[in-house]
Structure 1
């Protein structure tokens, strides 16, 4: 987008920090002053050698849409794989890569063994990646790993996009890969994970390379920590992740069945949105210095369960946990420490991260006070706007790691906490809509920090 001198755009307000926005305002003011004095000269950025190109559709020969995985992963496009950190996304992608290397993945590559390129830094190659690949049937001669040698980084690193687009192209050509797995995609981001333009810079670059070289990208992303609500909206980072890819597979652990469910949450080129499941078994792999145990994917086929159902059930259980936490702290009638809470709500029934996330919600909603770090006491009534005190929120932020998202709660001492619907980034939060400090447009405390000129407080 070409900027107009002296203008501030809506996206500038949404995507920039207050400090960055002030710099843009100062720049715009300087541009307007220069224009008024007849001194303005546009600044041409390096590499802006652009021109328009118009093509008649009659000059384009129609082709059949091709699939890396029939009706699930389109060929030569970008597919996103999203889920929590314990569902086996990385291992499943290795399993898919193994099918590709042996020509066994149903689709247009079936019967045509092809090479795979892995871009990842999360797991050590010798101890984790190679044993997992062996356990999941990968032809190691056709499976490659990419790293970028960087003096600036002081050694090996992953490619940063779009900066290292040419290096990625070179690696794909050298390896002959038809499938590229990026785990996680955020590691390649040379910018802000929550900004649309930074995320699109990565995904648009991958889409361009996919079309040029005939390669399919499968990129892995995580759900936001402590998140609940609509399955489509809880992938960490900007909504551009979902908007920009051609297909999106979501993963969720069905703990009761002991299996992982996968749903095609978005498929631009397919009519159906299938659900299937797999089990993760433990497999022993012989290595140079003994035996190691790694995860092995066992496909179970189609299932009636969906990721959306599992996430909804998790949200309901999360609401029940918050109710129990609040009742426990209120009955104590005194200060309760984090240690005491975690002893009462302990594993395996409750995960530590889930408990701390629930405490975060209660602090942010004003039900709990955490002005002293690691100590909680119940407020007599939720504070207006559900914001809580600044000190309380700041102290709790150091206590509970992960993203904290304000939630909707029901009022009254004995009222159960209502189900939470996580808002999209920058969207309307599901908060106390009858509070005087509520912003009708965006659901935050008044004055609204999103678009103060366009918003109004509730009466």
Structure 2
């Protein structure tokens, strides 16, 4: 060190003694579901209404509404939304209006003035500039990045790239802001009983950096959905909620959609998603054959085997599939007094 450089802190590692610290409680925007000061990932398959669900949360925060579990949002606050996929006026704004958002507290990130010109906002490079703008509007309680994959300039499948590029977003969250990053499930994830965290697209660093990971799936027919808590480093995990994405028209001519929350769900995230996706999965040929046999024999009690096979063939079932379904259902083949064979449940 030069003699004219004065520093009260010598070079070297600094240690903080635990006895010098005071414990702090976790600050929640929505208790046990959405923490202030941390990143939350919201992920699921396309078509589960993830963006609309995030806008429902934004509407609750902006208007101090009620959370899906019935508890109140204690204090209304600013919400900042960046979307790389949806139009503001045609898609995002109508949904917010339909869900009762306070529009004076919702701010959309559009562009950035950089070196004398305007350009599109880039969440992989411009988060620090966004932090300055958030400070100018008096702070924000919620920031939504949709999709969070765009906040990574490097390889989203490499943990080091993801951790490096999301650093500014982590710093933003630490200023007592709840950050929701919307993501997707990888294709084909529903075909195996994977843990929902393993289905989040990109590196596992996304789920590792997030303090809470929420996941969605489609259920209950075309409009029904489920939300489950797949991970929480700050409280309990598991459980979830049913919700419906409902279509409606506002201002006489603008068609949009909104989230209508239903009841609570028990179980872990894998169970909740598995049950929902099982309900949506098309039945296999074997399942269709079993259903056919049950419907046929429940109605008639017993039928000649020749007639069963003829009716099955007319319905598009092969003889081999029908015989396997017969075995799995433990259907009995019995001979009548005239030498003919019958099938009976």
Q: Same fold, TM exceeding 0.5?
A: yes
Return the offset for 1:292. 1.1
Alignment of 1:212-291 (within 5 A): 213-228=175-190, 229=192, 230=194, 231-256=196-221, 258-286=223-251, 291=253
Return the offset for 1:254. 0.6
Return the offset for 1:265. 0.4
Any idea what the Cα deviations from partners look like across 1:41-89, whole Å, max 9, x if unmatched? xxxxxxxxx9743222233222221111111111111100000111111
Any idea what the Cα deviations from partners look like across 1:164-195, whole Å, max 9, x if unmatched? 23212112212321110011001121111101
- Counterpart among 132, 137, 140 of residue 170 in structure 1: 132
- Output the CA distance in 2 between the equivalents of 1:317 and 1:298: 24
- Counterpart among 168, 181, 185 of residue 205 in structure 1: 168
- Counterpart among 155, 166, 179 of residue 192 in structure 1: 155
Tell whether the 8 Å contact from 2:122 to 2:151 is kept in structure 1 after alignment.
yes
Tell whether the 8 Å contact from 2:128 to 2:168 is kept in structure 1 after alignment.
no
- 1:293 aligns to 2:255 (yes or no): yes
Q: Measured at CA, do residues 79 and 98 of structure 1 come closer, stay the same or move farther in structure 2, by a change above 3 Å?
A: same
- Output the CA distance in 1 between the equivalents of 2:47 and 2:170: 28
- TM-score for both structures, normalised by structure 1: 0.53
Which residue matches 1:127?
90
Return the offset for 1:150. 6.5
Return the offset for 1:258. 4.3
- Counterpart among 7, 10, 16 of residue 55 in structure 1: 16
- Output the CA distance in 2 between the equivalents of 1:319 and 1:254: 15
Return the offset for 1:297. 0.9
Tell whether the 8 Å contact from 1:68 to 1:105 is kept in structure 2 after alignment.
no
- TM-score for both structures, normalised by structure 2: 0.70
Tell whether the 8 Å contact from 2:52 to 2:259 is kept in structure 1 after alignment.
yes
Any idea what the Cα deviations from partners look like across 1:342-365, whole Å, max 9, x if unmatched? xxxxxxxxxxxxxxxxxxxxxxxx
Alignment of 1:55-454 (within 5 A): 55-105=16-66, 110-149=73-112, 156-161=119-124, 163-175=125-137, 176-211=139-174, 213-228=175-190, 229=192, 230=194, 231-256=196-221, 258-286=223-251, 291-304=253-266, 308-309=270-271, 311-312=273-274, 314=277, 317=281, 320=284
Return the offset for 1:155. 5.4
Q: State how many pairs are aligned.
A: 272
Return the offset for 1:305. 6.9
- Output the CA distance in 1 between the equivalents of 2:261 and 2:274: 24
Q: Measured at CA, do residues 108 and 180 of structure 1 come closer, stay the same or move farther in structure 2, by a change above 3 Å?
A: farther
- Output the CA distance in 1 between the equivalents of 2:96 and 2:208: 31
Gaps of 5+ in 2: 1-10, 289-323, 325-345
- Output the CA distance in 2 between the equivalents of 1:250 and 1:112: 26
244-253 vs 141-150, greater mean Cα deviation: 141-150
- Output the CA distance in 2 between the equivalents of 1:305 and 1:282: 29
Return the offset for 1:108. 10
Gaps of 5+ in 1: 1-49, 325-414, 416-459
Tell whether the 8 Å contact from 2:238 to 2:269 is kept in structure 1 after alignment.
no
Any idea what the Cα deviations from partners look like across 1:18-45, whole Å, max 9, x if unmatched? xxxxxxxxxxxxxxxxxxxxxxxxxxxx
Q: Measured at CA, do residues 111 and 185 of structure 1 come closer, stay the same or move farther in structure 2, by a change above 3 Å?
A: same
Tell whether the 8 Å contact from 2:151 to 2:166 is kept in structure 1 after alignment.
no
Which residue matches 2:294?
none
- Output the CA distance in 1 between the equivalents of 2:14 and 2:173: 20
**Structure of greater Rg:** 2
Q: Provide the aligned C-alpha RMSD in A.
A: 3.3
| Structure (1 or 2) with the greater strand fraction | 2
Tell whether the 8 Å contact from 1:91 to 1:295 is kept in structure 2 after alignment.
yes
